[in-house]
Amino acid sequence: MLDQPTTPKLIYPDTPSLDKRSRYLRKLVLRAMIGGGRGHPGSALSLIEILRTLYDDILDIKADKPDWNKRDRCILSKGHGCLALYAILADKDFFPVTELDNFCHFDSILGGHPERGKIPGVEASTGALGHGLSIGVGHAIAAKLQNRKSRSVVVMGDGEINEGSVWEAAMTASKHRLDNLIAVIDYNKLQSYGPTKQVMDMEPMADKWQAFGFTVLQVDGHNVAELKKAFKKPPKKNRPTAVICHTIKGKGLPPAENNPTWHHKSRITDEQFKQLHQALEEN
Amino acid sequence: MRKTSLNSVTKLAKKDKRVIFIGSDLGAGTMDEFQKNYPDRFFMEGIAEQNMIGMAAGLAMDGYIPYLNTIASFITRRCLEQITIDLCLHNLPVRLLGNGGGLVYAPLGPTHLAPDDIALMRTLPNMTIVAPSDAMEMAAIMKETLELPGPVYIRLGKGGDPVVFPKGGKVKIGKALELREGRHAIFISTGIMSHRALVAAEMLAKKGLDCAVIHFHTIKPLDHKAILAAASEFPIIITLEEHSSVGGLGSAVSEVLVDNGPFPRLKILRLSLPDSFQKNYGSQDALLEAAGLHPKNIAKTLLNTMFGA
């Protein structure tokens, strides 16, 4: 029996227009895409405000000591959204911003999916989907065993959570009462092939997480104030939290918004990049 | 051998607080002592192998040394991607104890057999693979696993396997162990097959053929030196394994010889399981015999190869 019905309807974000910082981070995404000539723009742009809020306001981390033992652990489990992670990590001085120009280059630290050990601040090598939550469960258990206050935050995609392994991890998180674990779902409602509703409908999304023992919060994933409020909310004792962020794939770049052909993009022309930059100026 | 390995985990946990145990849904009572003494470090996580591996990776990133246990087929095949990425790509000290490598679960059929575990694990960079011959050697090897920096796959036999490990013997991961000296041919064997190699060697000795036996408890990293020494000293190498002909010890030895040859006068005889699913049940011994891996078959095959039928 569920505590309360949590999914009466889908929430579509009605975000205030992007502020200067959100536009700046998107410009960093474009910078890396120009550097690499490719990327997963759609998947990265729905994540910007989620990661921005986590890294600006929530996570206890040190850019100059990325291995600091007491840090919060944040895993971008949807590794293909890495352009957003690279933008924020560069902005936070985990590595020089100029490294973005080398995205996907032969000897770059920044590949098409993030790798632990290569990139300061990256906790796990992801890209194969459905791995992050289990690793995050391990981090959360370790924190409890070691009496650390570290939280374990795992950011997943709505397509990613088609993977059965995610739900194995969700069961485990609940069994071990991991109230130091936050599962974040970037619910942009588009996976690679098309709408999640058609490819693999995860509705009732909130009920699913709740049934797996999570406290569920739902927010507009492009509204920084809402995100901040959700992430700052103290967890219910003994329960992991799921924050379902309703987002728009490709947010901020009109040609990419809600457009599955922008899930992954290569061969972007100079003219297209120019238009994308303009879109960020005018937004 | 299984009991010894699990008891060893309990002993390691006593000695080292980094040691954690994670099982899937093991038999009732398994690891009771561990659970009683170290409840915080004991996890029984249900039939969810993918999660078990990822969770172990997270724990290992934070300083723990998790020992995981379930049936060999499930701990390798079911969660291969998690092993590849979460453990091997990150190069984390997680130990996988696979019950019943090879044909141990003969009556249970192909879903529970693991004639491919070594092949699967061998393709993974950073992975160490060990297949001890008996409980005595298992105990010695388990001690060595604690401080290895990367992931380890430990193939467990049935239990009650005849002991071939020399009393007071020492193991070094990655170094093959000579069990018998000889002049005419050399067996290169792993796991419980090393006992069969010794029995076959005794049978052959009665016919005047003096065979050496060298036991490879470690299949990765492979002791290249021992293989090349064998290739230069003997006219014939017989690899012997309870594993598919694809990708196991015989394949590994052949690769080393191809890469370092030519050895124009050397004959290599690979004795293994066929590249097919088992069609029969019965016992491990019966399936091994059907595959030509009974000591008397082994001896006969070698004689035929050397002197003709």
- Which residues of A fall within a CB distance of 8 Å from B86? 124, 131, 134-135
Residue, of B46 and A262, whose pLDDT is higher: B46
Which residue in B46, B59, B90 is closest to A125 by CB distance? B90
Write the pLDDT tens digit of every residue in A205-238.
999 999 999 999 999 999 999 999 999 999 999 9
- Which residues of B fall within a CB distance of 8 Å from A125? 85, 89-90
- Which residues of A fall within a CB distance of 8 Å from B56? 138
Nearest CA in chain B to A152: B58
Provide, rounded to the nearest whole percent, the portion of chain A with pLDDT above 70.
Answer: 94
Distance CA B41, CA A141 (A): 10
DSSP secondary structure letter of residue A71: S
Inter-chain touch B57–A124, beta carbons under 8 Å: yes
Inter-chain touch A138–B62, beta carbons under 8 Å: yes
Distance CA A213, CA B210 (A): 66
The domain ranges of chain B are 2-155, 177-307
Inter-chain touch A164–B50, beta carbons under 8 Å: yes
The confidence band for A14, taking pLDDT boundaries of 50, 70 and 90, is low
- On average, the pLDDT of chain A sits at 93
First-residue to last-residue Cα distance in chain B: 38
Distance CA A130, CA A102 (A): 27
DSSP secondary structure letter of residue B114: B
The confidence band for A15, taking pLDDT boundaries of 50, 70 and 90, is low
Residue A134 has pLDDT above 80, yes or no: yes
Classify strands B65-71 and A73-76 as parallel, antiparallel or unpaired.
unpaired
pLDDT at residue A84 in the model: 98
Residue A73 makes CB contacts below 8 A (sequence gap 6+) with A123, A136, A139, A150, A151, A152, A153
C-alpha angle with apex A66: A65 to A72, nearest 5 degrees? 115
Residue A2 has pLDDT above 60, yes or no: no
The residue of B19, B47, B51 whose CB has the most chain A CBs within 10 angstroms, and thus the best one to mutate to test that interface, is B51
Query: Which ranges of chain A does DSSP label H, i.e. alpha helix?
Result: 20-36, 41-45, 48-53, 82-91, 132-145, 164-175, 196-199, 205-211, 224-232, 270-282
Distances in Å between the Cα of A141 and the Cα atoms of A155, B20, B75 are 18, 11, 21
- Which residues of A fall within a CB distance of 8 Å from B60? 138
Write phi, then psi, for A182 (nearest 5 degrees). -120, 120
**Residue B128: its H or E element:** strand B128-130
Which residue in B41, B48, B55 is closest to A138 by CB distance? B55
The ranges of chain B with pLDDT < 50 are none
**Residues of chain B contacting A, Cβ within 8 Å:** 40-41, 45-46, 48, 50-64, 81-82, 85-86, 89-90
Question: For chain A, which domains are there?
Answer: 20-282 (3.40.50.970)
Q: How many CA atoms lie within 13 A of A200 on its CB side?
A: 12
Distance CA B230, CA A59 (A): 58
Which residue in B54, B60, B63 is closest to A131 by CB distance? B54
Residue A104 makes CB contacts below 8 A (sequence gap 6+) with A35, A36, A37, A38, A39, A110, A111, A112
Inter-chain touch A135–B55, beta carbons under 8 Å: yes
- Say if residue B262 is preceded by a cis peptide, omega within 30 of 0: yes
Residue A98 amino acid letter:
T
CA distance B179 to chain A (A): 42
Residue B154 makes CB contacts below 8 A (sequence gap 6+) with B5, B95, B96, B97, B98, B130, B131, B132, B141, B142, B145
CB B54 within 8 A of CB A137: yes
Inter-chain touch B59–A124, beta carbons under 8 Å: no
Residue B199 amino acid letter:
V
The residue of B55, B64, B65 whose CB has the most chain A CBs within 10 angstroms, and thus the best one to mutate to test that interface, is B55
Sign of the torsion angle spanned by Cα atoms A226, A232, A238, A243 = positive
What is the CATH architecture assignment of B177-307? 3-Layer(aba) Sandwich (3.40)
pLDDT at residue B180 in the model: 98
Residue A170 amino acid letter:
A
- Which residues of B fall within a CB distance of 8 Å from A141? 55, 58-59
Distance CA B245, CA B247 (A): 6
Least trusted range by pLDDT, from A9-23, A251-265, B24-38, B106-120: A9-23
Which of helix, strand or coil describes residue B140? helix
Domains B2-155 and B177-307 share a fold: yes
Which residue in B54, B85, B89 is closest to A138 by CB distance? B54
**Residue A184: its H or E element:** strand A181-187
Inter-chain touch A137–B57, beta carbons under 8 Å: no
CB B223 within 8 A of CB B217: no
The pLDDT of A77-92, averaged and rounded, is 98
- CATH superfamily to which B2-155 belongs: Thiamin diphosphate (ThDP)-binding fold, Pyr/PP domains (3.40.50.970)
